[in-house]
Structure 1
Amino acid sequence: MRKICVVTGSRAEYGLLYWLLKEIQEDADLVLQLVVTGMHLSPEFGLTYQQIEKDGFPIDAKVEMLLSSDTPAGITKSMGVGLIGFADVFERLRPDIVVVLGDRYEIMVAAQAAMVARIPIAHLHGGESTEGAIDEAIRHSITKMSHLHFTATETYRQRVIQLGEHPDRVFHVGAIGLDHIRKLPLLNREQFEKSISFELGERCFLVTYHPLTLSSVSSVEYMQQLLDALDQFPDAHLIFTKPNSDPDGRNMARMIDEYVAANRERAVAFVSLGQVRYLSALQHVDVVVGNSSSGIIEAPMFKKPTVNIGSRQQGRVKGPSIIDCGESSEEIVNAIKKGLSPAFQDVLANCESLYGQGNTAPAIKHILKTARLDGILIKSFYETDMCTYSKEAEQ
């Protein structure tokens, strides 16, 4: 039986992979190997590996790598620790293929170890562009190390091909996170409020703001601009989900905690809501605010406005429900007001998802199961018309 090893390092990424894990686990011809790392193993980020086990997925290996530092030096050292750990894990598990998703540094480390171990790599969500974050370089690097590619839009498929990957190995399957929206029974408003012990009020914002890893300005300064903007909506209730472990993430989480402590009547914060509660939140809030990809990919399925702050998601395919704005409090306030306006609500009524309609996991599982792996490690650079023209011009 083909052994498929799936790597996950964060709560958000695991949520996206959930239905693919189920598909592999329930296929009698496949063996699921699950490796957890990064924030899953950190008490500070909620020890979310425990939720994975509760969901019925046995964990085959845990790769400890997250040091108690989110400085560039600390993260680089974490990557070094992780690379050693993945080397040992892949030597022991000997999978037939390794599946990774996205663009975080712990995922790049897993891909590096698999590449050196000569294990084929399947990469989900390649070809995307996030110009304001180091994720951009990590994502494209993983693409060049990978052998099968599953993209969320045709635009992203063409970009992966532009990077030199053969079209026969690049599959436009849609965004896998949308499978949750189709398959999970979400909570109604009353159930959701009870689950988080918080009332949504007449108006509620869902706020997720991550560090800008390529900015010359501290993300702490930008976080303060966001909090100042939220002060301009004193009647709005706020649900914060905390930032990830990138540089400044801990300081930003501390600022959120202090803000919630000063606004207990209208604000609450979570390290992780989990998939059911997070998607239920998208269903019931009035505006999604921040710089998370979920505001661009999942929120449009619920016809909710997304105020997308700054450059972190610059380059992504965006639908009409996305309102881009700068980092200043004034720009954020104006964008939120636009999202709440009756005119924009009319726009939302006709929004369609640009990332598919779900049912992506079965398509990915089928390809993982049937793809020929013999000879797959040898990759030739696929020349696009542009590359061919450039070479002729040189001659």
Structure 2
Amino acid sequence: MYRADIRLVIGTRPEAIQLGPVAQALDARGLHPSLILTGQHPQLDLAGCGLDRFPSFSLGCEGQADPHKYVEQVFDALFPFLRRRPDLVIVQGDTSSALAGAMAAVAARVPLAHVEAGLRSHDLQQPWPEEEYRRRIDAEADLLFAPTEGAAQNLRREHVPGDIHVTGNSGVDALIAVERRLPASTLREAGQFKLLVTCHRRENWGEGLNSLADALRRVAAHADIRIDFVLHPNPEIAARIQALIGDLDNVRFSLPCTHAEQVAKMRNSDLILSDSGGMQEEAPALGVPLLVLRNTTERPEGVASGNCRLVGLHAEQIASAVLELRNDPVALARMGRRQFPFGDGTAARTIATIIDDWLSVRSGSHLLAG
């Protein structure tokens, strides 16, 4: 009796969040995946992502400042584990771990699936190196799971050789599952405007952080605004932002939190300021307005739906956008309509069905758990 050997490469928190529903959906179909943990983010909440019950092996590759060198490190550690040639390697997104997993699969002549394929900013510097990495992965993948029709169109224009499927984004699946488990939203304090802020993209670590801090100083001059800044796991970046705005009375700093804690923070905010790709997918589904701290985005669907707005990283532009929405409840409510431009929560089941059918055709028989 045939049993599929499927490996999910996971290195970062977003990968764990988005591949959690995929692993569970594969398991529900009798395809029992195992995890290869690269170590890029040393502490992953596997239980919170529904991944703690799957067999796993850690490569122990600690993250490093140079993403290209980290790709090489993970490739060297991972390739030996693929010499027995599993049936499929699955990577997600555009991280160093994802690219290394894809390169190792190709080198070992193992079929490759890419979850969240086709995202494009069309600017190799924004974000760097993610834009380059996702293009390289897509060029090699046998199965490409595009979250939206727009992402699929990007892949078709590039004439990638793999099979393209529009599935929705499994991050929305994870969000819906987490929100169901959360207690009811807390009542917001009258007369307060709650602003949630995160900033983690590499291209924003330099002058971008200075500009953001300047903007938040202008915003914090309004006593009714309460700012919750979730710090970056990198201690140097966290220390820098604390030094820039730590003296402001209406700014509270939060340590890096679990996905459930982050979703709760998002849901209880009036407005979000972030450069996070995941938040661009989650905010519309939660019905929370999001100002994107970037000049371009590979997720234009959130902008098109009206839930997200690009504001760049110029202090005056950021502050003006925050204050405009704080002073215009109608515009804020319009941006806060709950919508699902990135899928309706069924992406993982769709992905698992496609994988099951694809492997069955390749093996010449239905895959049943032994």
TM-score bin (small chain): 0.7 to 0.9
Matched, 1:208 2:198: yes
Q: Which residue of 2 aligns with 1:63?
A: 59
Q: Is 1:291–1:313's contact at 8 Å kept on the other side of the alignment?
A: no
Q: Is 1:129–1:316's contact at 8 Å kept on the other side of the alignment?
A: no
Q: Which residue of 1 aligns with 2:345?
A: 358
Alignment partner of 1:124 out of 115, 119, 125: 115
Matched, 1:174 2:179: no
Q: Distance in 1 between matches of 2:51 and 2:362?
A: 36
Q: Which runs of 5+ in 1 are unaligned?
A: 42-46, 194-198, 377-395
Alignment partner of 1:283 out of 247, 267, 280: 267
Q: Which residue of 2 aligns with 1:30?
A: 31
Matches within 5 A, 1:152-301: 152-165=147-160, 169-184=163-178, 185-190=181-186, 202-213=192-203, 219-234=205-220, 235=223, 236-243=225-232, 251-258=236-243, 261-263=246-248, 266-271=251-256, 273-301=257-285
Letter in structure 2 aligned against 1:66: E
Q: Distance in 2 between matches of 1:82 and 1:39?
A: 9
Q: Alpha-carbon deviations, 1:236-295, whole Å to 9, x = none?
A: 333333447xxxx65422223445754576412222x22222222221111110211133
Q: Distance in 2 between matches of 1:256 and 1:230?
A: 11
Q: Distance in 2 between matches of 1:13 and 1:308?
A: 21
Q: Which residue of 2 aligns with 1:381?
A: none
Matched, 1:76 2:61: no
Alignment identity in percent?
20
Q: Which residue of 2 aligns with 1:342?
A: 329
Q: Distance in 2 between matches of 1:253 and 1:295?
A: 19
Q: Which residue of 1 aligns with 2:368?
A: none
Letter in structure 2 aligned against 1:31: H
Secondary structure at the counterpart of residue 157 of structure 1: helix
Distance verdict in 2 for CA 1:147–1:266, change over 3 Å: same
Letter in structure 2 aligned against 1:269: S
Q: Which runs of 5+ in 2 are unaligned?
A: 364-370
Q: Distance in 2 between matches of 1:81 and 1:335?
A: 42
Secondary structure at the counterpart of residue 323 of structure 1: strand
The count of corresponding residues between Structure 1 and Structure 2 is: 349
TM-score w.r.t. length of structure 1: 0.79
Q: Is 1:256–1:269's contact at 8 Å kept on the other side of the alignment?
A: no
Q: Which moved more, 1:15-24 or 1:346-355?
A: 346-355
Distance verdict in 2 for CA 1:22–1:375, change over 3 Å: closer
Q: Alpha-carbon deviations, 1:336-356, whole Å to 9, x = none?
A: 123332231242355632112
Matched, 1:139 2:134: yes
Secondary structure at the counterpart of residue 227 of structure 1: helix
Matches within 5 A, 1:374-389: none
Alignment partner of 1:111 out of 90, 96, 102: 102
Distance verdict in 2 for CA 1:146–1:205, change over 3 Å: same
Q: Which residue of 2 aligns with 1:196?
A: none
Letter in structure 1 aligned against 2:157: Q
Alignment partner of 2:82 out of 83, 90, 101: 90
Q: Alpha-carbon deviations, 1:300-342, whole Å to 9, x = none?
A: 1122111112235266332212121131211110111233322
Q: Is 2:170–2:347's contact at 8 Å kept on the other side of the alignment?
A: yes
Matched, 1:3 2:9: no
Q: CA deviation at 1:26?
A: 3.6
TM-score w.r.t. length of structure 2: 0.84
Secondary structure at the counterpart of residue 343 of structure 2: coil
Q: Which residue of 2 aligns with 1:19?
A: 21
Q: CA deviation at 1:124?
A: 1.2
Q: Distance in 1 between matches of 2:93 and 2:168?
A: 14
Q: Is 2:16–2:46's contact at 8 Å kept on the other side of the alignment?
A: no
Q: Is 2:294–2:313's contact at 8 Å kept on the other side of the alignment?
A: yes
Q: Distance in 2 between matches of 1:233 and 1:262?
A: 14
Q: CA deviation at 1:18?
A: 1.4
Q: Is 1:5–1:35's contact at 8 Å kept on the other side of the alignment?
A: yes
Q: Is 1:11–1:274's contact at 8 Å kept on the other side of the alignment?
A: no
Q: Is 1:306–1:323's contact at 8 Å kept on the other side of the alignment?
A: yes
Q: Distance in 1 between matches of 2:245 and 2:55?
A: 35
Distance verdict in 2 for CA 1:258–1:200, change over 3 Å: farther
Q: Is 1:3–1:97's contact at 8 Å kept on the other side of the alignment?
A: yes
Letter in structure 1 aligned against 2:60: E
Matched, 1:333 2:349: no
